[in-house]
């Protein structure tokens, strides 16, 4: 059985991507840039931007698979949801899933620090 990446967890339209790129906060890294914008849905949604700079079709598809699987594995604290766009860097192709997972967890931690007093999310530091 093939598990698909659910539509409700994806950014799909150019307008959604544009909003994240224009108003989102950027969190750079060696393997990918993560751009995050809070949304009102209460769940995280992921969009992927993998250019030909990353490599040929095989390499770009590998980068997408690594990022999608990392997103699936990442812990998602509630109630705040984010629209996320991951912009792959060429270095991601040479990495394994564990390294992508580690970098994604670090980026998500920077977006959503540990909850503050009273269980409310602490404000994100820039």
Residue 39 resides in a domain: yes
**Bridge partners of 25?**
36
Kindly report, residue by residue over 68-86, the tens digit of the pLDDT: 999 988 877 656 789 999 9
Give the CATH number of the domain where residue 79 resides. Answer: 3.30.230.10
Residue 124 resides in a domain: no
Residue 121 resides in a domain: no
| CB contact at 8 A, 30 and 103 | yes
Q: Is the pLDDT of residue 122 over 50?
A: no
**What would the mean pLDDT of 35-52 be, rounded to a whole number?**
92
- CA distance linking residue 2 with residue 92, whole number of Å: 24
pLDDT score recorded for residue 46: 94
Number of domains present in the structure of the chain = 1
Residue 78 resides in a domain: yes
Phi and psi angles of residue 51, each rounded to the nearest 5 degrees, phi first: -90, 170
pLDDT score recorded for residue 9: 87
Owning domain of residue 32: 7-112
Q: What percent of the chain has pLDDT over 90?
A: 64
Residue 62 resides in a domain: yes
Is the bond preceding 65 in cis, omega lying within 30 degrees of 0?
no
């Amino acid at each position: 059985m093939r598990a698909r990446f659910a539509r409700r967890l994806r950014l799909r339209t150019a307008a959604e991507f544009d909003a994240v790129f224009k108003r989102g906060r950027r969190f750079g890294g060696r393997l990918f840039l993560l751009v995050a914008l809070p949304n009102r849905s209460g769940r995280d949604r992921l969009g992927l931007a993998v250019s030909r700079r990353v490599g040929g079709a095989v390499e770009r598809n590998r980068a997408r698979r690594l990022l999608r699987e990392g997103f699936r594995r990442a812990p998602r604290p509630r109630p705040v949801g984010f629209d996320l766009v991951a912009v792959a860097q060429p270095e991601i192709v040479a990495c394994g899933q564990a390294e992508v997972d580690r970098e994604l967890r670090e980026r998500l931690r920077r977006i959503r620090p540990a909850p503050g007093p009273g269980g409310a999310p602490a404000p994100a530091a820039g």
